[in-house]
A and B are shown apart, each in its own frame.
Chain A
Amino acid sequence: MKLLLLAWRNIRYRWLTQCLTALLILLSVALLWAVKEVRKQSEARFRRNLANIDLVVGATGSPLQLILSSVFHIDAPTGNIPYDEAQKIARIPMVKEVIPLAYGDYASEFRIVGTSYAYPEVYGLQLAAGKPWEKPGEACLGSDAARILGLKVGDHFHGSHGDPEAETGHGEYVVTGIYAPSGSVLDQLILCSIETVWNVHTEGHGENADAEASSHSEDHKNKEITALLIRYRNKMAALQLPRMLNARPGIQAASPAIEINRLSFMLNSGTRALNWVGYALLLLAALGILIQVWMGLEQRRGEFALLRYYGYGGWGIMRLLMLELGLVTAFSWIAGEILGRALLYGFSEELGYGTSYRLDILVWGTEDLLLLALPLALAVLCILLLASKVRRINIAELLKT
């Protein structure tokens, strides 16, 4: 039977007066945690998906949209570019490697991307089952796509045109391979050859579709791709190539690093504002604690005088107050951590990018303890500020009627 039990009983007895403080701490912890994780996880995922891609070439439009759509697969493409233009770019001496991307179809929520074998190689993908695609109509699935669609090697599936929600039946595919998880966006993609995408888009687009498809598979003239990922041969390319490509009509070149820095800056502006809201709530909580302790010292003078009479002394009363506020803070922190995860889950779902960029709510770090330490330190500070008032509590209070 000691001060901890007394503190617990006092919290239960005066739960209503603790509510406001608890609520403010809870909200500030939840907000600060959720904002921290959104920033941290988003940046980490963006950086991981860059995979040493130096430049992206696509149709003119927003450079950020081009990067988001072709590197991170979370936006619609800006348009298409001629394939022969992509071939010309590949022949520029400053270019070490090019990876063509052609897309527009989905299988459920997963994008079907026509590309070359270099694409999975750049991301270090290994086949966990089956073999790479070879002929048109064959596809390899990222680990998440295979798991969620429930597909295995040898299975057939249909795509849907232009929109994950659109009706299926746009092209038939056979699964030839499934990749092992890589932690990159490719886990949520379905990869096939560029010819597969071209064939699917020529089928049913006219009476001469078959003839068109066969003639174009031999000759790529007039064919289009969505984007071209480029890796530089040397550092000089970073200075010259973007300017050179941006001078060409109908195409744009965008650097993923620059666009991601720009995106991070925008994201940070938003998160900084939310962080300030979180700290403001914490400050309000501290003010609430100060008022609560101050008023408590007035309203509970008899109780504290009794504790002095029992021999607990001024330090004993301060320990009791610290335990009471410590318990309230600890419970609020736990509730705040849970609410923070709920907020993160809600935000992640609200983004609507499916599994590609779903934020992980089951994460834990030492920073979480800082979110406990901060309000605890504020609570202790408030009590220390009122220490002289606590010391003045006298047993003589008990003699007053």
Chain B
Amino acid sequence: MFHSDALKFTYRDGTMLQFPALQLKQKDSLLILGPSGSGKSTWLQLLAGILRPQEGDIRFMDTPFHNLSSAAMDRFRARHIAMVFQEHRFIPSLSAEENLRISLNGIPLDKAHLNTLAERLNLAPLLSKKPGRLSVGERQRLSLLRAFLKKPALVLADEPSSSLDDNNAESMIGLLRSQAEETGAILVVVTHDQRLREKFERRILL
């Protein structure tokens, strides 16, 4: 379902990075662990189609990334790939629910799915609030709700636990894994956080 060749990417300053090939299927979880500067964020951007590799290609849901224009890649990503960022960013002028709705950008809202996720993540009473009025933990959960609301086939998480204490990190990864499992999405977590090492059976160390 998700296939990535051995990818090669060279920055303008000549720094060249190489990444191993990947083969992932539905409900697979993968941890990419490495220290800062090891190129894991570059790899994440390649897997998300934000950067284009100089060598190698990525094929996801029978769609070769190298054939897609920038606009088509934006549309494909918006429809099938969800990302969870280290900083849980939202549009500050909109309420939590409006943030969720605008993130769908044309994908029909499954109201029952939204309610289920909101209940499960304890966000139901908070959806009318502005993100700025939510606590860090609530914003994390809202970020997860946003990621899984569009029923993505691939979830890419960038340092999801780095700024969290042990309890919150545990809770965050637990939620990520359980939601990915339930929705059948592939989960790829990129981090330098060694605490996550034992949470994933499948991992790549950079």
A243 within 8 A of B: no
Residues of chain B contacted by A6 (CB below 8 angstroms): 91, 93-94, 102
Complex: A1 Cα to B94 Cα, angstroms: 10
Question: In B141-194, which residues have CB < 8 Å from any A CB?
Answer: 158-159, 163
Complex: A92 Cα to B85 Cα, angstroms: 98
Question: In A286-319, which residues have CB < 8 Å from any B CB?
Answer: 302-303, 305-313
Does B78 contact A303, Cβ atoms closer than 8 Å? no
Does A1 contact B101, Cβ atoms closer than 8 Å? yes
B112 within 8 A of A: no
A364 within 8 A of B: no
Contact A311 B79, CB 8 Å, known A1-B101, A396-B45, A398-B85: yes
Question: In A1-37, which residues have CB < 8 Å from any B CB?
Answer: 1-2, 5-6, 9-10, 12-14
Which residue of B77, B85, B94, B103 is within 8 Å of A399 (Cβ)?
Answer: B85
The proximity string for A residues 380-401 relative to B, scoring 1 for CB distances below 8 Å and 0 otherwise, is: 0000000000000011101111
Does A306 contact B91, Cβ atoms closer than 8 Å? yes
Q: Indicate the size class of the contact surface on chain B.
A: 20 to 34
Which residue of B41, B74, B89 is within 8 Å of A302 (Cβ)?
Answer: B89
Residues of chain B contacted by A309 (CB below 8 angstroms): 77-78, 83
Contact A398 B92, CB 8 Å, known A1-B98, A311-B105: no
Contact A310 B102, CB 8 Å, known A9-B94, A398-B87: yes
The proximity string for A residues 66-80 relative to B, scoring 1 for CB distances below 8 Å and 0 otherwise, is: 000000000000000
Interface size on A, residues (CB 8 A): 27
Minimum Cβ distance to chain A for residue B102 (Å): 6
The proximity string for A residues 90-131 relative to B, scoring 1 for CB distances below 8 Å and 0 otherwise, is: 000000000000000000000000000000000000000000
Does B74 contact A311, Cβ atoms closer than 8 Å? yes
Does B74 contact A313, Cβ atoms closer than 8 Å? yes
Minimum Cβ distance to chain A for residue B72 (Å): 10
The proximity string for B residues 35-79 relative to A, scoring 1 for CB distances below 8 Å and 0 otherwise, is: 000000100110010110000000000000000000100110111
Does B102 contact A303, Cβ atoms closer than 8 Å? no
Complex: A306 Cα to B41 Cα, angstroms: 17
Residues of chain A contacted by B159 (CB below 8 angstroms): 401
Give A5's nearest chain B residue, CB to CB: B98
Give B89's nearest chain A residue, CB to CB: A302
Does A303 contact B71, Cβ atoms closer than 8 Å? no
Question: In A142-165, which residues have CB < 8 Å from any B CB?
Answer: none
Complex: A383 Cα to B92 Cα, angstroms: 22
B90 within 8 A of A: yes
Minimum Cβ distance to chain A for residue B98 (Å): 6
Residues of chain B contacted by A398 (CB below 8 angstroms): 83, 85, 87, 89
Residues of chain B contacted by A9 (CB below 8 angstroms): 93-94, 98
Does A396 contact B50, Cβ atoms closer than 8 Å? yes
Complex: A259 Cα to B187 Cα, angstroms: 86
Does B93 contact A12, Cβ atoms closer than 8 Å? yes
B26 within 8 A of A: no
Give B99's nearest chain A residue, CB to CB: A306
Which residue of A5, A308, A396, A401 is within 8 Å of B74 (Cβ)?
Answer: A308
Which residue of A13, A394, A401 is within 8 Å of B50 (Cβ)?
Answer: A394
Residues of chain B contacted by A303 (CB below 8 angstroms): 89, 91-92
Which residue of A2, A13, A306, A312 is within 8 Å of B90 (Cβ)?
Answer: A306
Give A306's nearest chain B residue, CB to CB: B89
13 cross-chain CB contacts under 8 A: A1-B98, A9-B93, A9-B94, A14-B93, A302-B89, A306-B90, A308-B74, A311-B74, A394-B50, A396-B50, A398-B89, A399-B45, A401-B86
> Could you list 5 further interchain pairs (A-B, Cβ under 8 angstroms) beyond the known A6-B91, A9-B93?
A1-B98, A6-B94, A303-B89, A311-B74, A399-B86
Q: Would you list the 6 A-B pairs with minimal beta carbon distance, nearest first?
A: A311-B78, A13-B93, A9-B93, A1-B101, A310-B105, A311-B105
